[in-house]
Structure 1
Amino acid sequence: MTDEQQPRAARYHRPEEDEGERLDRQWIELLQELRLAQTGTQILFAFLLGIAFTPVFQDADAFTHDVYAGTLVASALATGLFLAPVSFHRIVFQHKVRDKMIPIAARMTSAGLAILMVAISGGLLLVLDVVLNRTTAIITVAVVLAWFVGFWYVLPAWVRRSSGAAE
C-alpha cells in the first residue's frame, strides 16, 4: 500500500514513530513548505514596495492605486502569516506545546496561501492593466485566479475525497 493509499491517520502517525518523532516530522515538513512560500511572497512584497515611488505610478488612476493598496496589504498579510510560525515557535520553544503549535502554524500557513493567491492576482492585475485594456486584464486575472483555486484547493480536495481519506 502506497503512502497516499493509507488512511490519513496512518499517514500522519507512522507505527515506528513515537509522538515526539511524529511532531518533529510534521514541523520539519511545515518548515519546508514555508521556505518556498516565504521566499516568493517576500520578493513580491519587495517589488510592490518599490512601485509606489515611480513617477508613472504616481500619475496612475484611482483604480490602479486601489488595486495596488489591496495587493500591498495582501502581500504584507501573507508575509506575516508565513513568518508567524517562526515567531510562534520562538515564543513557545521548550514549553512542551508542539502538539498545539503545529496545528496552529499549519492554519497560519493555509491562511497565508489563500492571501498570497489574492496578492499574486493583484500584482498580475497591476501589470496586465498596463499592457492590456482593463477589461481584458480583469478577465485574464479572473481566469488565473480560478486556475489557482482549482490547483490549490479543488484538486487536493478531490484527491482527498476520492482516496477515501478521513477529514
Structure 2
Amino acid sequence: MPDSGQGRHETVEEAADRRWTDLVQEVRIAQTGAQIMFGFLLSVAFTDRFARLHGFDRSLYVVIVILGAVATGTLIAPVTYHRILAGHHVKPRMVTAVSHLVGLGAALLALAVGCALLLLLRVAGLGWAAWLVASLVLVWFALCWVALPIFLKQRHERGQGT
C-alpha cells in the first residue's frame, strides 16, 4: 500500500475516508453550538427588553444574528457537500474543501460569540469594560483554537526533523 505521507500505510482514498470521519465528528460539536446559539439569538427579538435596544446595540444585534446565520450555514455545508459529491470519486478534494469551510465556520462562530458577549455586557451596564472582556474572549479563542494547535504541530515537526 502506498503511504499517504502521514506516517500511516493507507491509500489516498483510505486517508480521505479517515479524515472525513474525523471531520464529521468535529463538525457535530461546532454545528450543535452554532445552532443552539442561533436559536437563542432569534428568540431575543421577541422579548420586551429587545424593544428598548437602540442605536449601536440594535445594530450589533443584527450583526450577531447575521454572523450566527452564516456560521450555522457554513458549519452545515459539509452535509450538502457530501450529499452532492458522494459517489463521484472526489473525496480527497471534498475533505480539503470542507476542512476549509469548517475553519471558516469556527471563525464566524467565534465572532458571533464575541459580539454576543459584547452586547450582553453592554446591556448589563459594563460600558468600556464590555469591549475589553469581549476582546479578551476572542483572543482566548484565537489562542485555544489556532495558536496552540499550530504550536503543537510545529513542535512535533521539529521533533520529527522535518
Q: TM-score, normalised by structure 1?
A: 0.87
SS of 1:10's partner is coil
Corresponding position of 1:107: 100
Does 1:124 find its partner at 2:136? no
Corresponding position of 1:43: 36
Aligned-partner Cα distance in 2 for 1:68–1:9: 46
1:61-96 alpha-carbon deviations (Å, 9 max, x no partner): 211111111111111111111111110110111111
> Kindly, what percent of the aligned residue pairs are identical?
36
Equivalent position amino acid for 2:148 in 1: L
Equivalent position amino acid for 1:30 in 2: L
2:62 is aligned, of 59, 69, 81, to: 69
Q: TM-score, normalised by structure 2?
A: 0.90
Corresponding position of 1:95: 88
Q: Which has the higher contact order (CA 8 A, sep 6+)?
A: 1
Corresponding position of 1:146: 139
Shift of 1:130: 2.1
Runs of 4+ in 1 over 4 A off after TM superposition: none
- Please say which of residues 129-138 and 101-110 is displaced more in the overlay: 129-138
Shift of 1:140: 0.8
Aligned-partner Cα distance in 2 for 1:18–1:148: 35
Aligned-partner Cα distance in 2 for 1:137–1:61: 17
Aligned-partner Cα distance in 1 for 2:145–2:92: 26
In the comparison of the two structures, how many residue pairs are matched?
Answer: 157
